[in-house]
Structure 1
Amino acid sequence: MITWFTYVEVAVAALGGLLCVILGLAGRRPSDLTVGILALIELLLIVQVVIGIVAPLTGNPPTGSLLEFWVYAVSAVLIPPAAVVWALLERSRWSTVIMGVAALAIAVMVWRMHVIWTVQGA
């Protein structure tokens, strides 16, 4: 994994998640802004998957469990579309909060993926 990209991903997911939670608690329904935040997070996750495929081939293998890393990666990629679909089916202020919680969960999952890739020793 690329460390600076992980920091960008975590920052975007955390700030986007906080914004969605604040907007939802303020009574805002899902909008282009909140759905766009999750779309950006999804794009970053897809880039992360590509990095996860290419990195071992370039001499940057994970120090932890590769299976655990990929379970986190696939799960993280599935969360934003699920949250957006849920939000668009149930257009209420709580849907915006749910999208925010999903983004915050992704921030934690990406950080855990980074730990699996770089910190754990054999």
Structure 2
Amino acid sequence: MDGWFIASLVVGLISSLICVVAALLKKGPNDVTLLSVVAVELFLLSYLVASIVRTATGVQPAGAAWEFWAYLITAISLPVAGFYWAILDRAFWSNYVLAAVGLTIVVMMARMAQIWYGMATLAVGT
């Protein structure tokens, strides 16, 4: 498995768990839930930098490059959109939106790993 995917799995699931617990406790978005989504965004920005460096050093995705970059740009946009949603709608339901961001990022990172390495699926131990 790709180290970046594993890191996204950890960051995304922890963020989602924090947000779901807050929503179940009927708490509105707060510093903890919002910062968990900021952590997801910071992870994605570091992945963007690493991807640019990999590409600049001659390592190219095995799949379609446009598809990889489209996924990455979309992934980077999701935490920002979720953050603004939660700021504008302070109801506890917004925490579910924030939780969806973390889970969606995990799925998108799995797909980006497939595109980068040319795998049909992410197999354990590869």
Greater helix proportion: 1
Structure 2 unpaired stretches of 5+: 121-126
SS at match of 2:63: coil
Provide the rounded CA distance (Å) in 2 between the counterparts of 1:110 and 1:79.
Answer: 13
The one-letter amino acid paired with 2:70 is V
Find the counterpart in structure 2 of residue 105 from structure 1.
Answer: 104
Find the counterpart in structure 2 of residue 48 from structure 1.
Answer: 47
Structure 1 unpaired stretches of 5+: none
Structure 1 residue runs of 4 or more that deviate by more than 6 Å after TM superposition: none
The one-letter amino acid paired with 1:8 is A
Normalised by the length of structure 2, the TM-score is: 0.87
Provide the rounded CA distance (Å) in 2 between the counterparts of 1:59 and 1:11.
Answer: 29
The one-letter amino acid paired with 1:78 is S
Provide the rounded CA distance (Å) in 1 between the counterparts of 2:20 and 2:111.
Answer: 22
Instruction: Report the CA distance between 1:110 and its aligned residue.
Output: 1.1
Provide the rounded CA distance (Å) in 1 between the counterparts of 2:88 and 2:68.
Answer: 31
Whether contact under 8 Å (2:28, 2:90) holds in the other structure is yes
Provide the rounded CA distance (Å) in 2 between the counterparts of 1:28 and 1:60.
Answer: 45
RMSD: 1.7
